[in-house]
Amino acid sequence: MAIHEKLRLRENSDQMDWLGLLVCIIIFSASGAVLLLHRRKSSRPKQHPPGPPGWPIIGNMFDLGTVPHRTLTELRQKYGDVLWLKFGAINTMAILSAKAATDFFKNHDSTFAERKVTETMRVHGYDKSSLALAPYGAFWRVLRRLVTVEMLATKRINETASVRRKCVNDMLLWIEQEASGVHVARLVFLSTFNLLGNLMLSRDLLDRESNDGAEFFQAMMGLMEWSGHANLADFFPILRRLDPQGLRRKMERDVGKALEIASKFVKERLEKKDKYITGTSDEKRKDFLDVLLDFEGNGKDEPAKVSEKDLNIFILEIFLAGSETTSSTIEWALTELLTNPESLNKAKAELAQAVGADRTFEEDDIDNLPYLKAVIKETLRLHPPIPFLVPRRAMEDTNFQGYHIPKDTQVLVNAWAIGRDPEVWDEPWSFKPERFLGSTVDYKGQNYELIPFGAGRRMCAGVPLAHRMLHLILGSLLHQFDWELDCKEEIDMNDRMGITVRKAEPLIAVPKRCK
């Protein structure tokens, strides 16, 4: 019950966060206006991309609203495919169309290969050891090779199919035990957290016998919450030492706790490693932690071993990247299907024909389910988990589509807007999985009109695993149960910002065991 309550409280905290941020901005702006009187008024250089005029000091922060991915999408009609904004001291370029995204990733990927790192993600050196955030260079290449070649190669993913099946079976059992309507995202989140625990550490983290697992979960929940909040110290570097919202302090506490527990997991594994090495492959399946511990670099342009600190942060990143994004995508997929009964019936009919009623849905079935795959693609088109992806940063002054982009400019690629680009998509606001039947468009980084996981050299490395998890979870939910809404009122399709974009009102659905 404590875990469920923690999740509920986190959902309600976003409204309070925006109110507090607004108060801080007003106070800071009032004090800054005095200084502004003594400065010479300057205009934005004309060679920058077009964009809305900003307020003194705070720039365009008031222009964003509570759902900035939607707000910037609307600005495209007035200013075009590429938008220039200032958030406090941060120069920002937003990319709002598939055409501009194609130019960006095809012709300028290397120039924007660095990340824009927020203040909260610098605590305990997290950004230096994170694959998603690490500086572009030799160490980043080592991390990416570890993930793509060692951890998430097809052979390795195939070997862990039974682990995913077991965790999804646990989730289905939890659903059966629910007395009434099911908070879909919550149960998927808990299941995914355990799934990643088994893939990374060969253990359930959320069970009655694991105090460390429960503490790790609570610390990770804090990490996800604080990193999803807008931070005034990011927009005004002069405020970093003051930490006006207390986000850095909270992040230091929760990341520190999570790293402490992750370190304990690693030490336990090292103590048992000799036993694992002497066993056969049948006795011990290699998990992701084994892969990290067994890594041997060349000692020249890459480390001979992954350090303990890097190991611990890598463990945190696996959970941060996988659990929230998976649960939000499944929630949106089931929501769209419930509000489009014809699509829901087609998906269930395909499962009934390809899988049948006498066995469970398995990963091997995915390739035989084109409509289910189309449902996942259409969901990711309309609801990319991170609508601006992970922000990029210009490594040097550059020219993009005839505009001057200064060094250190933040780049927001609005995948949410690109998925609704009317120049690419027919009826872009409608949920139509059929658009992907017979289509070669995929989300693996080569089709820039569909980039929920990004593209280019900093594209999400976890796509192969995400592909399996999303189809296995959604397919199992549809194959095992008939679903209906908990109430007959029209479902709320609004969203809210956090570390991912979630439904503003969580989906509560009633499952009935398929006969």
Name residue 323's amino acid: S
CB–CB of 304/297 below 8 Å? yes
Name residue 370's amino acid: P
Tokens representing 40 are 């010479």
216 to each of 220, 347, 422, how far by Cα in Å? 6, 37, 44
Residue 91 dihedral angles phi and psi, to the nearest 5°: -70, 135
Residue 297 dihedral angles phi and psi, to the nearest 5°: -85, 180
Residue 213 makes CB contacts below 8 A (sequence gap 6+) with 197, 203, 204, 205, 206, 207
User: Would you mind telling me the total number of residues written for the chain in this entry?
Assistant: 515
CB–CB of 254/219 below 8 Å? yes
460 is in an annotated binding site: yes
DSSP notation for 170-233 = HHHHHHHH-SS-EEHHHHHHHHHHHHHHHHHHSS-SSSTT-HHHHHHHHHHHHHHHHHTS--HH
Sign of the CA dihedral running 486, 375, 453, 416 = negative
Binding positions? 460
| Residues in binding site for heme | 460
